[in-house]
Amino acid sequence: MNNALLALAGAIVAVTGTLLAPILSQRVLARVQTEQFDRQQRAADAQWVREQRVAEVEKRRACYVTANSGYRRYRIELMKYLWLVHKAEVTAQARADLEETRLSMHTAFAEAQMVASDAVLRELDAMTGTLAGAYRRILQLADGNPYPGWSFEEIQTELLQLGQRWKNMRGIMRADLGVDPGIDPGADPGIDPGVEPGIDPGVDPVPADS
């Protein structure tokens, strides 16, 4: 009797194990697949975040390059125009060149307002205000009605002094991009980054035969 019960119990256990084995295997497989999917999903999410960060930095970098170039060109045109005003040699083409670079600068500033960091925007705001003031004073000087206290020499000095602010702004842009804000290894520390090579801001930038 006992042997029969033991045999029956063993048979029940064996049958139950046989029936449950596929179910347990499916559950284990499903758990493994779920964990694997979760790992893949986390890896994909992390990769997406990395790609978005890289794209954001690249977008800011392109914006800063455009802004730096646009503001630099505008400052140079202001200096050239100031010299022409001083020599009474202003031409329609010179005024058109000035307005073209002024528009480019404002376009670059508008783009920067969408992507630049707060620190960079503060620098661009300050630079924009200074250049706008110089522009107004140069036009007043050209009209023969200069702002009180703003002679040719004083306007020129203000524009030249923007060189240091330019270096500061460039350093903030580089820091925002994760680049060493120091001087570029290949840069000539004696060259003002806001002045075109070959143009001495202290002398007439317009060729004598122009």
What is the DSSP code string of 115-127?
Answer: H--HHHHHHHHHH
Q: How many CB atoms lie within 10 A of CB 86?
A: 18
Give the highest mean pLDDT range of 20-29, 111-120, 183-192: 111-120
- CA torsion sign for 56, 61, 67, 70 is negative
The Cα–Cα gap between 70 and 173 comes to: 15
More confident position, 134 or 52: 134
Report the pLDDT averaged over residues 19-25: 69
pLDDT > 60? residue 86: yes
147-158 residue pLDDT tens: 888 899 999 999
Q: Identify the helix (H) or strand (E) that includes residue 41.
A: helix 2-86
pLDDT > 90? residue 141: yes
Report the pLDDT averaged over residues 203-209: 37
121-140 residue pLDDT tens: 999 999 999 999 999 999 99
Query: Residue 6 corresponds to which tokens in the numbers above?
Result: 């033991």
62 half-sphere exposure, CB direction, 13 A CA radius = 7
Res 196: pLDDT: 41
The amino acid occupying position 28 is V
pLDDT > 50? residue 106: yes
Res 116: pLDDT: 92
**What's the mean per-residue pLDDT of the chain?**
77
